[in-house]
Amino acid sequence: MSTPGTREMPVRNPRTGQDDYLIHPLDAAQLAGLAGRLRQAQPAWAAAGVAHRAQVLRQWVGLLAADPAPVVDALSIDTGRYRLAASEMQSLRGLVEGYAGMASALLAPAAERASVVPGIGIDTGLVPYQLVGVISPWNFPFLISMLDAIPALMAGCAVIVKPSEVTPRFIAPLMESVRRVPELAGVLAVIEGDGASGAALIEQVDIICFTGSVATGRKVGEACAKNFIPSCLELGGKDPAIVLASADPAQAARVVLRASVQATGQACQSLERVYVQRPIYEPFMAALTAAARGTELNYPDMHAGQVGPLIFARQAAIIEAQLAEARARGARVLTGGEIEHHGGGSWLRPTVVADVSPDMQLMSEETFGPVVPVMPFDDIDEAVRLANDSRYGLSAAVFGAEAEARAVAARLDAGAISINDGGLTTEAFDAEKNSFKLSGMGPSRMGSSGLMRFLRKRAILIQRGRAKVMEDLDERGGRPAN
Ligand code: NAD
């Protein structure tokens, strides 16, 4: 265990606006010391085998499940919402069981095989990176940290996680639980810190898993490239939804609203722009605005309503600026539309916007708020062109008759397309996908490659035939016959 750093950073409470918590980022020497200790423990962790690692992780999950309140309560203060905080924690068991289930087969030693070159045997082994660095964002502070940490641990790596400085309260109780499983405490550390701490972490590890904005992802990718270490980058999105005339407009509207507004729109895979085929545009908009008006803020009671506060103070200003630009250019805000300040926090009711155009920021830049801008379209080619006209390519959704929707999905430049739903990647962790364009780089974080990206292949090549000797290099032997 490392002692806290001497630097102090205040942390804002999203429901009160008050700085009511302090974090103590490690200094560079402390971080190096921690990395050294984890590196020392890693070989035994890797040698213990998958079944043992799964058992240690299950023991930890059991401890957390028996007493979730300290972590869930801290996470709910971090994010200003309760139900999602509890579900972030509950997802840990599924992650551990999912990777435990696939790891024994994926990591089983492969039998030696004969090379296509006669006489040579090939024995391929898997070697985990010794120390993995995970840098995570503030929108799902626990879940996104664990999405990378659990498969890395299961692969046999040691892991340092550096969550966002915006939402760090869950770290102390989480590490309290880790310390109750000493073997795990030897190979897993979750540390407090800011961007400088993230940058310092890159200097200590063998591979980085980063989730966050494109701007920071670019810096992280560059720093990793300088150090010759791989970076797995999961970045922003501007996910489109295409609603075909063959969809049920009322049902599609309800699902689109949920997938846009879930977590107050502070989710990378939020539906942030909606294209609706003209024959059902009017009923879709009627159902969407009615459903949006029916939602409530989770204020003053955190355990009521569906819409939590905006977690990050600066995000409110970004959303306001995008809405102002859209309004100035003729967009009509049909519901919500004003940031509301209650008790020191900032909330935004689901904001449905009509009469938008593709060049508005609201339709092109990540909003990260509960805003649903909607545009009608006439033919499918136009919808596909509008959806693909983006620097992002994280995910998308298509609503309609399944065969037609699947045909449209196959034309979209995005790594995951939900059919008749939105954001299914957050439910199906076993669907492999890549992030297209500026939405990311590196292997799939989901499915078996989510585990395999932490392992390098090491080939042992055995010569069973005749090994070449110096005479084989003699130029006279290479003279063409004439
Ligand atoms: P951010 O980029 O501001 O910060 C992310 C993390 O990077 C934080 O822990 C921060 O401390 C750290 N950091 C900052 N500067 C750094 C540096 N120079 N070197 C190393 N680390 C540094 O992102 P955010 O505002 O916390 O998160 C919101 C963004 O995350 C949105 O763009 C969202 O779309 C994206 N996101 C993507 C996914 C995905 O899976 N693709 C999931 C969730 C969020």
Domains of the chain: 9-235+439-461 (3.40.605.10), 239-426 (3.40.309.10)
3-state secondary structure 260-327: HHHHHHCCCCCEEEEEEEHHHHHHHHHHHHHHHHCCCECCCCCCCCCECCCCCHHHHHHHHHHHHHHH
Element (H, E) at 112: none
The active-site residue, picked from 183, 234, 365, 366, is 234
Verify whether residue 282 is a known catalytic residue. no
The active-site residue, picked from 157, 268, 272, 365, is 268
Vertex 212 angle, CA 99 and 388, to 5°: 95
pLDDT of residue 481: 67
pLDDT of residue 421: 98
Q: Could you give the dihedral angle defined by the CA atoms of residues 399, 392, 374 and 412, in that order, rounded to the nearest 10 degrees?
A: -30
Which residue positions in the chain have pLDDT lower than 70?
A: 1-2, 481-482
The verdict on pTM exceeding 0.95 is: yes
For residues 30 and 193, what is the distance between their CA atoms, to the nearest angstrom? 12
For residues 249 and 256, what is the distance between their CA atoms, to the nearest angstrom? 10
For residues 367 and 209, what is the distance between their CA atoms, to the nearest angstrom? 23
Cα→Cα distances 181→59, 60, 178, 455, Å: 8, 6, 5, 24
- The total of other beta-carbon atoms located within 10 Å of residue 471's CB is 8
Cα→Cα distances 234→84, 128, 194, 394, Å: 21, 21, 18, 9
- The total of other beta-carbon atoms located within 10 Å of residue 342's CB is 14
pLDDT of residue 479: 75
Tell me the CA–centroid distance for residue 40 and ligand 1, in Å: 29
Q: Please state at what angle helix 50-66 crosses helix 141-155, rounded to 10 degrees.
A: 150
| C-beta of 350 in contact with ligand 1 (< 6 A) | no
Verify whether residue 234 is a known catalytic residue. yes
Tell me the CA–centroid distance for residue 435 and ligand 1, in Å: 15
pLDDT of residue 262: 97
pLDDT of residue 13: 98
At 474, phi and psi to the nearest 5?
-60, 120
Mutate which of 167, 268, 319, 368 for ligand 1 pocket (most atoms within 8 A of beta carbon)? 268
pLDDT of residue 200: 98
For residues 324 and 276, what is the distance between their CA atoms, to the nearest angstrom? 23
For residues 81 and 89, what is the distance between their CA atoms, to the nearest angstrom? 13
pLDDT of residue 353: 98
| C-beta of 394 in contact with ligand 1 (< 6 A) | yes
- The answer to whether the bond into 376 is cis (omega within 30° of 0) is no
pLDDT of residue 482: 63
Please state the atom number of ligand 1 nearest to the C-alpha of residue 147: 40
Mutate which of 7, 134, 139, 210 for ligand 1 pocket (most atoms within 8 A of beta carbon)? 139
